[in-house]
Structure 1
């Protein structure tokens, strides 16, 4: 089968290496299943072309100026012209690609703009498409009068509708009036290529990976570490990533005397980041708002206990499958209590082997691909991993 993945976010080497990081493994897994896969994505400049010989990634030109697409506002005249060109040129380029490569089915990552291109190609050429809602599309545009109607039409006309969060799937169902299946985005960990990381094995090593922004709750976690240090001085928090709160975090760490307890590592190469995941004792996700972050699935793949806030789907998944501790968001006191309890006994609240295996299977890229192919009728349902309906969690 000839498939086309449509995405507005795909990594450009040396530019935005973290954009759409779950897409290349998805493409590779589909190819491992014997399918031919093309990828269509906007160019960073105005020159179209292939991203490399034989890799099947086609970039089309539009009036963008290099900013991420989410930075464009339809309420600014210049940005509106760019957005309209993105919709027009994406649809035109997809129609060309469908005819050139004899595409049988399109998978649009995000309802907009990718779903818009897919629906345009379906109306022009009859090629079916599915939509995978990934959060920002519905959360940012689904409730607005004009864009909400566009998204509703895109979802209703799709062969299949997926969402990478349980709550998000319910939101897609409310917007579209049709069923939507939970399908998590997965970024596989290559544990075999993890770089060795030397951590103090006498300490309890916690890991935070993510943007240093308020929505991710890193400031709450650092505040919690002040109470943790007083009760469990052997805990070390390793913070990987970067963001606008860096200066504030460094000031907070110095003021509270946490230089030995909280270690800021900045952004790291994939191999070193994976090394920290392998070496740590637990992963902390203290977000104020979230669906299911990629680091959640990575921690599950690595078999690491999780300490998460009860936002989005994280709390429901931990309560159903085990694998960690759930605390209220924006509560440094309760977060500190959970960390201290974990430090006193690494095995406190650890799930049984069956529960942990079931959770790992949920975040397997092969299972995700099997579910997608089963939904569009490419493999018999009985041969694929059992599909998890939204209502099951």
Structure 2
């Protein structure tokens, strides 16, 4: 019997565990969750309770099928006791989030399935699965191996990620690149992993802008951490300036390497050509892309690359790391080894000095990215839910005895 057959009688009810939603975001996770929620609402047949820490300013215009449940008690009352972003602070946040979800559970009503996004929710997901026996889907947008690299991986976070995946009835990865990492780094079986790609802000009926600004910048948008390759961007900028003397650069974002990048820019004599606007919100991202000639994403590991997709939608040609999941769906994008500074610089220079080539690349990428739509992502996710429910049902059926 089809595990989704009961959807003919009532919508499938999903308890979804997340960490953030726009406008209060720190990166792409909240943006992806928002897109999925809107896609689920457009698709129909699924109701979602989305649980996240209480946060000011969350917009209330989600589809009727989506209920946003803000949990109190997730923040540490000892504000300022630890440095923002420190591992211990986030680990304690995850524990408080798990406790808050269990307190909220009795008032939420029945649900069919648990869907947890990234490691900060996995402790809660494991506790809810133990308490209710409901099947679990874990959604991997990024892993500790992506964020920290092979030599700086926090073993406690990596183990929690592994436990969450091991307990899951299905695992969702945001790209094949991410799925391969789950097999390689976490020992997961490939046949338990489904790829559901992210999508852009909206399907665009019109083509991207016909031109990019002649005096525009080369931009980097993202966390300024080891994962995102900011040092490669700065070093490539030096080579770019040697051949395109009027090139300008913007590095938007915040992170532990920001002070070092400012120092490196000064040491290389690039201060007049560089600006550091800090963390920028989604509207500011739109404005930055509107004044950009090229976006460079030299990440050491980029599970998907939502900012690059936004650039493509805005008509900005992109230079991507070959370790970027988005490239699987946008094969015309220029991809380079993130450690090859000359290749990064040459790719950007080619786009800056040949507007016709840059325009052709931008149009081809936009055509390829047009199929990335949140409603389609939601439809793929609904299929994953069906498999998870089938898997859980089979596991509960006792074996026949002679």
Question: TM class, shorter-chain normalised?
Answer: 0.7 to 0.9
Query: What residue is the counterpart of 2:176 in the other structure?
Result: 166
**Is 1:290–2:298 an aligned residue pair?**
no
- Partners of 2:165 and 2:317 lie apart in 1 by 38
Query: Following TM superposition, by how much is the alpha carbon of 1:351 offset from its aligned partner in structure 2, in angstroms?
Result: 4.8
2:275 is aligned with 1:263: yes
State yes or no: 1:136 paired with 2:146: no
SS at match of 1:283: strand
Residues 219-276 of structure 1 show CA distances to partners (whole Å, capped at 9, x for unaligned) of: 2212222221121123222222233333333333344333443333333342232122
Q: Whose relative contact order is higher, 1 or 2, with alpha carbons under 8 Å and at least 6 apart?
A: 2
Q: Which moved more, 1:350-359 or 1:265-274?
A: 350-359
Matches within 5 A, 1:303-342: 303-313=315-325, 317=328, 321-342=330-351
> 1:130–1:69: structure 2 CA closer, same or farther, 3 Å change rule?
farther
Give the C-alpha shift of residue 337 in structure 1: 1.6
**Which segment is superposed worse, 204-213 or 143-152?**
143-152
Q: Quick one: structure 1 residues 96 and 272, their matched pair in 2 at CA, closer, same or farther if it must change by over 3 Å?
A: same
CA contact (8 A) 2:212 2:293 kept: no
Partner residue, 1:28: 38
Q: Does the residue aligned with 1:114 lie in a helix, a strand or coil?
A: helix
What is the alpha-carbon distance in structure 1 between the residues aligned to residue 247 and residue 174 of structure 2?
33
1:109 is aligned to 2:120: no
CA distance in 2, matches of 1:223, 1:166: 30
Unaligned runs of 5+ residues in structure 1 are: 45-49, 193-198, 379-393
**Per-residue displacement from partner, 1:114-171 (whole Å, max 9, x unpaired)?**
344345444543433322122236766789896476335312xx2x321123232134
> In angstroms, what is the RMSD of aligned CA positions?
4.1
Secondary structure of the structure 1 residue equivalent to 2:253: strand
CA contact (8 A) 1:40 1:58 kept: yes
2:164 paired with 1:151 = yes
Determine if contact 2:97/2:121 at 8 Å carries over to the other structure.
Answer: no
Give the Cα separation in 1 of the matches to 2:212 and 2:384: 47
Structure 1 pair 89–252 and aligned structure 2 pair: CA distance change class (3 A) = closer
Tell me the secondary structure at the aligned position of residue 329 of structure 1. Answer: coil
Q: Matches of 1:296 and 1:14 in 2, distance apart?
A: 20
Once residues 148 and 19 of structure 1 are traced to their aligned partners in structure 2, the CA distance between those partners, rounded to angstroms, is 16
Q: What is the alpha-carbon distance in structure 1 between the residues aligned to residue 144 and residue 268 of structure 2?
A: 40
**1:10 equivalenced with 2:20 (yes/no):** yes
* Residue pairs, 1:93-108, within 5 angstroms: 93=104, 95-98=105-108, 100=109, 102-108=110-116
User: Is residue 192 of structure 2 the alignment partner of residue 183 of structure 1?
Assistant: no
The CA deviation string for residues 359-378 of structure 1, in whole angstroms up to 9 with x for no partner, is 332x3222211211233349
Aligned-partner Cα distance in 2 for 1:80–1:169: 24
Separation (CA, whole Å) in 2 of partners of 1:356 and 1:191: 9
Corresponding residue for residue 134 of structure 2: 127
Relative to structure 1, the CA distance from residue 305 to residue 354 in structure 2 (aligned partners, 3 Å threshold; closer, same or farther) is closer
Q: Does 1:360 align with 2:373?
A: no
Q: CA–CA distance in 1 between the matches of 2:93 and 2:279?
A: 31
Residue 243 (structure 1) aligns with:
255
Q: Which residue matches 2:49?
A: 38
2:236 aligned residue (220, 224, 233): 224
Residue 204 (structure 1) shift: 5.2
Distance 1:24 1:42 in 2: 15
Asked if the contact 2:43–2:375 (Cα under 8 Å) also holds between the matched residues in 1, the reply is: no
Alpha-carbon distance in structure 2 between the residues aligned to 1:21 and 1:68: 25
Q: Secondary structure at the match of 2:287?
A: helix
Instruction: Quote the residue 2:378 is aligned against.
Output: 369
1:142/1:148 contact within 8 Å kept: no
Cα distance in 1 for residues equivalent to 2:296 and 2:321: 9
> Larger deviation: 34-43 or 217-226?
34-43
Q: 1:62 to 1:257 in 2, by over 3 A?
A: same
Report Cα offsets for 1:35-82 as digits up to 9, x if no partner: 4322112458xxxxx997998322335575267997444xxxx99877
The correspondence for 1:58, drawn from 63, 69, 74, is 69
Please give the alpha-carbon distance, in whole angstroms, between the structure 2 residues aligned to 1:131 and 1:191: 30
Q: Structure 2 length as normaliser, TM-score?
A: 0.71
Find out whether 1:348 has 2:360 as its counterpart.
Answer: no
Shift in Å at residue 33 of structure 1?
2.7
